[in-house]
Amino acid sequence: MAETISINNSKGGVAKSTSVITISQILAISGYKVLIIDLDPQMNTTKMYGQNENLDVNTEHLFCTKQLRKTSVDEFVLPTIQPGISIISASRDYYELIYKIHAATKEYPVELTFRHNLEYIKEDYDYIFIDNSPFKSALSNCSLCASDGVLTPINADNFSYDGLMDLIETIQNLNDSYSLSINFLGIFMTRVSSRTNLFKQMFESYEEMFEDKFIPVSIRQTDAVNQSNTAFIPLLTYDKRCTATQDYIELVNYLGLMDNKHYKKLIKYMKGEK
């Protein structure tokens, strides 16, 4: 059954979508089956994997109505250009959906509906990654409730301690309210210039501040990431040898998401072997 990981931060510009896209691609290339759920109305992750908004479905049915059969959830899932990755694409209806979810909370525990519906398809995947909007809302609470773990990328230039503490408190409140076991996996730094004194100072500061919740793997700044995003080409397809690719592979290994068998398959890909 799939492990569901939500990539979440109340700040924009911290490489949430890039992290979802790249971690998912690493795992798919390694032989894992991955589902991405794009909850950001900007739709960058959806477009990166060659899809558009799924106009044949009603997103309200996924988040506000408990489905009675697997096929009702399957219809939200689309194929992508990357073998091993499927996607529930983003929707422009999310803005309206947020108000509908909020209104429904007065009548029943609607925040658990998305979690319930995902249970129908979790057997089809090894991992599910949720790409969230930077704005806290009823929709992001649904995402958290459906997650086993939450991972937070941060950018030292716009890091918000209060925002992170609010996220951790929200997770705890949802755990308490619904008897869940959502695990905050930790924070990691993105877009860093690893040779600068500022980076070293911030690294040490975060390490001391967050202790075991600070992940000592940082994603280095590289032009390849910006270029791949502009071209809407996933990073490993665009430049599998860039420093950011290496860092994301290290992050995947640090989090224990990949076993040795799958890692060997990834290494063959990196070397250009079949």
**Fold classified for 3-271:** Rossmann fold (3.40.50)
Percent of the chain with pLDDT strictly greater than 70: 99
For the sheet with 77-79, list strands across it: 77-79, 85-88, 34-39, 127-132, 3-7, 149-154, 183-189
The pLDDT assigned to 158 comes to 64
Q: Which residue ranges make up each domain of the chain?
A: 3-271
Please tell me the distance from the alpha carbon of residue 206 to that of residue 81, in angstroms, as a whole number: 37
Residue 63 main-chain phi, psi, to 5 deg? -105, -20
CB 68 within 8 A of CB 43: no
Please tell me the distance from the alpha carbon of residue 92 to that of residue 76, in angstroms, as a whole number: 15
Average pLDDT over residues 238-250: 97
Report the relative pairing of strands 149-154 and 3-7 from DSSP bridges.
Answer: parallel
Residue 245 has pLDDT above 90, yes or no: yes
* Secondary element (H or E) of residue 167: helix 161-178
Residue 251 has pLDDT above 90, yes or no: yes
- How many other CB atoms sit within 10 Å of the CB of residue 141? 23
Residue 12 has pLDDT above 80, yes or no: no
Residue 83 has pLDDT above 80, yes or no: yes
CB 89 within 8 A of CB 116: no
Residue 155 has pLDDT above 80, yes or no: yes
Residues in CB range of 5: below 8 A, 6 or more apart = 127, 128, 129, 130, 147, 148, 149, 150, 151, 185
Q: Which amino acid is at 186?
A: G
**pLDDT tens-digit map of 217-237:** 999 999 999 999 999 999 999
Residue 164 has pLDDT above 90, yes or no: no
Give me 79's structure tokens. 């194929």
Q: How many residues does the chain have?
A: 274
Looking at the DSSP assignment, which residues form a beta bridge with residue 188? 153
For residue 18, which of 226, 187, 216 has the smallest C-alpha distance?
226
Report the relative pairing of strands 77-79 and 85-88 from DSSP bridges.
Answer: antiparallel
Average pLDDT over residues 108-124: 97
